[in-house]
Amino acid sequence: MIDWYGVCANSLWIGGLSVLLAVWSMAYYESQRTGQRIRAVWDSLGYRWAITVGLLLFCGGLAATDKRLWAQLLWGLLGMAFIVEQLVWQREYQSLSSTAAERPIADEE
The predicted structure's pLDDT at residue 95: 82
The predicted structure's pLDDT at residue 63: 95
| Residues 39-68 pLDDT 10s | 888 888 789 999 999 999 999 999 999 999
| Banded model confidence at residue 101, pLDDT cuts 50, 70, 90 | low
R_g of the chain, CA atoms, integer Å? 19
Residue range 72-84: mean pLDDT, rounded: 96
> Other CB atoms closer than 10 Å to residue 54's CB: what's the count?
21
Give domain limits for the chain. Answer: 12-98
| Banded model confidence at residue 92, pLDDT cuts 50, 70, 90 | confident
